[in-house]
């Protein structure tokens, strides 16, 4: 038996942990640069606020409503969801974190328990200890567990835990579940299935395997079909680790200077390296893309992507940042005003063992970099994100001729070199001493 624990309206729930006054009130969380709505409370959904709605339209369409608005605060979200995962870890034989708000659990050896009651109690424990509501789905396959968590979230009668443990429940769930929402069925395949008369998960599951093979010739679709029919076949290792990692952002304004772009790209590359280390992997390819604003037809347009291969697979921040900077140097063209850049690391594999190249850095240097990253990660985890960064990650304001030779104020390196607009970002009382709560 498998399960999945899904944080309800994750970003909104995180914001409410330290703001109990927002209970039962409409709350939205905005994307990077405060662009559009990416998370909504149930109250906001009932008002008609849609995912992806631009922020400026909120006041236009809902002028008489008091809506709590927050900028994305991934440091807070990561900290609180990590606490949820820690509770889960103590309750199950095995687990792995699938995303920031989802965690798969394995219930082997727990068959003697009333798992439905156990799931309800797990929800209560997380709610009491962290303040986050979660929904739990239990089923014989991971795909059915994802489906069960959807019902647990949607229908209050399940008491935050839905269990599909018999054929009758499986058939009923499949008939109620739209094909476009099935885990493993992307938008393109959902549209194709609907043209073939497949509207629900049940319509898909009742076809035979030979039809699925001949129609799609896709192993992921075939696995999804089998999982819907109660056959456990999604490999755990394929879900646990990402095959590629991308960090990208639209700039708050336009950027045309190479050194400014290098600062942004260095931050993105450092984030990719950190993510590699978190999942215990290394990358062999580092790519960078750069583009102008396609909506500004009055400006010259340019887009480019290029990649480089590392001699030795790595997750070291210095290595990844240097590779990304070198690629940026190759694709940068003066005379354009850039709106977005990003770093992609690919060719991801386990961090042990690593086959080193004869002409690359020696083993001693490799070990020094590994220890350095471990220390920096630990300090940033304890003191707050970006406490320690590379010099290339810091935003450096250029001196005017009148300022040269005079002492300059110290400029704090902000996340992504001040690239992200976050006018409504909440504090981080659990990770930053400067934001610690004061009780009066």
Does position 268 have pLDDT exceeding 70, yes or no?
Answer: yes
Percent of the chain with pLDDT over 90: 50
Q: How far is the C-alpha of 398 from the C-alpha of 421, rounded, in Å?
A: 21
Q: How far is the C-alpha of 191 from the C-alpha of 271, rounded, in Å?
A: 35
List the single range of 3-12, 18-27, 275-284, 390-399 with lowest mean pLDDT: 390-399
Q: Which pLDDT score is estimated for 16?
A: 95
Percent of the chain with pLDDT over 70: 87
Q: How far is the C-alpha of 201 from the C-alpha of 185, rounded, in Å?
A: 10
Q: Which residues of 409-420 are buried (b: 16+ CB within 10 A; e: fewer)?
A: eeeebbbbbbbb
Q: What are phi and psi of 28, to 5 degrees?
A: -130, 150
Q: Which pLDDT score is estimated for 182?
A: 93
Give the contacts of 68 (CB within 8 A, at least 6 positions apart). Answer: 15, 19, 22, 25, 26, 27, 28
Give the contacts of 90 (CB within 8 A, at least 6 positions apart). Answer: none
Cis preceding-peptide flag for 353 (omega within 30 of 0): yes
Alpha-helical segments (H) within 155-285 = 167-176, 187-195, 201-205, 209-216, 219-228, 236-240, 258-278
pLDDT digits (tens, 9 = 90+) for 224-267: 999 999 998 877 655 555 678 888 888 878 899 999 999 999 99
pLDDT digits (tens, 9 = 90+) for 185-213: 988 899 999 999 999 999 999 999 999 99
Q: Which pLDDT score is estimated for 410?
A: 44
The residue that leads in pLDDT, 287 or 59, is: 287
pLDDT average, residue stretch 43-54: 91
From residue 251, alpha-carbon distances to 163, 175, 270, 421 in Å are 45, 44, 17, 9
Q: How far is the C-alpha of 146 from the C-alpha of 137, rounded, in Å?
A: 6
Interior angle at CA 257, CA 255 and CA 259, nearest 5? 115
pLDDT digits (tens, 9 = 90+) for 288-299: 999 998 888 888
List the single range of 32-36, 145-149, 361-365 with lowest mean pLDDT: 361-365
Give the contacts of 106 (CB within 8 A, at least 6 positions apart). Answer: 2, 3, 92, 93, 94, 95
Contact 27, 38 (CB under 8 A): no
What does the mean pLDDT of the chain come to?
A: 85
CA atoms within 13 A on the CB side of 1: 24
Please, which pLDDT band fits residue 407 given cuts at 50, 70 and 90? low
């Amino acid at each position: 038996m498998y399960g999945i624990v899904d944080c309800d309206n994750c970003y909104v729930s995180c914001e409410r942990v330290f703001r109990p006054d927002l209970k039962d009130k409409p709350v939205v969380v905005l994307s990077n640069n405060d662009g559009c709505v990416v998370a909504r409370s149930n109250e906001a959904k009932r008002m008609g606020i849609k995912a992806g709605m631009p922020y400026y339209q909120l006041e236009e369409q809902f002028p008489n409503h008091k809506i709590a608005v927050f900028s994305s605060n991934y440091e807070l979200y990561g900290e609180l969801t990590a606490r949820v995962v820690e509770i889960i870890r103590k309750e199950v034989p095995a687990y792995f974190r699938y995303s920031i708000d989802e965690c798969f659990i394995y219930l082997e050896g727990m068959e003697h328990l009333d798992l439905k009651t156990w799931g309800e109690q797990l929800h209560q424990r997380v709610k009491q200890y962290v303040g986050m509501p979660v929904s739990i789905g239990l089923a014989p396959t991971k795909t059915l567990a994802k489906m069960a968590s959807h019902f647990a979230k949607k229908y209050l009668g399940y008491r935050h835990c839905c269990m599909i443990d018999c054929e009758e429940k499986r058939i009923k769930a499949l008939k109620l579940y739209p094909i476009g929402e099935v885990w493993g069925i992307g938008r393109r395949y959902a549209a194709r299935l609907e043209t073939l008369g497949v509207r629900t998960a049940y319509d898909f599951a009742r076809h035979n395997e030979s039809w699925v093979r001949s129609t799609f010739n896709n192993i992921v679709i075939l696995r999804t079909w089998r999982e819907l029919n109660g056959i456990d076949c999604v490999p755990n290792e394929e879900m646990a680790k990402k095959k590629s990692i991308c960090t990208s952002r639209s700039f708050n304004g336009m950027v045309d200077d190479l050194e400014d772009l290098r600062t942004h790209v260095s931050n993105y590359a450092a984030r990719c390296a950190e993510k590699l280390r978190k999942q215990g992997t290394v990358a062999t390819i580092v790519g960078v893309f750069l583009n102008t604003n396609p909506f500004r037809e009055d400006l010259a347009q340019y887009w480019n992507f290029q990649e480089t291969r590392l001699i030795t697979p790595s997750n070291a921040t210095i290595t990844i940042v240097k590779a990304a900077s070198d690629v940026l140097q190759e694709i940068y063209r003066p005379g354009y005003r850039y709106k977005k850049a990003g770093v992609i690391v690919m060719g991801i594999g386990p961090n042990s063992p690593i086959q080193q190249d004869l002409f690359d850095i020696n083993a001693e240097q490799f070990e020094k970099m590994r220890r350095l990253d471990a220390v920096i990660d630990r300090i940033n985890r304890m003191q707050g994100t970006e406490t320690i960064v590379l010099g290339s990650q810091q935003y450096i304001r250029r001196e005017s001729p009148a300022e040269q030779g005079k002492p300059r104020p110290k400029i704090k390196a902000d996340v992504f070199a001040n690239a992200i607009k976050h006018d409504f970002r909440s504090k981080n009382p659990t990770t930053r001493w400067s934001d610690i709560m004061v009780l009066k």
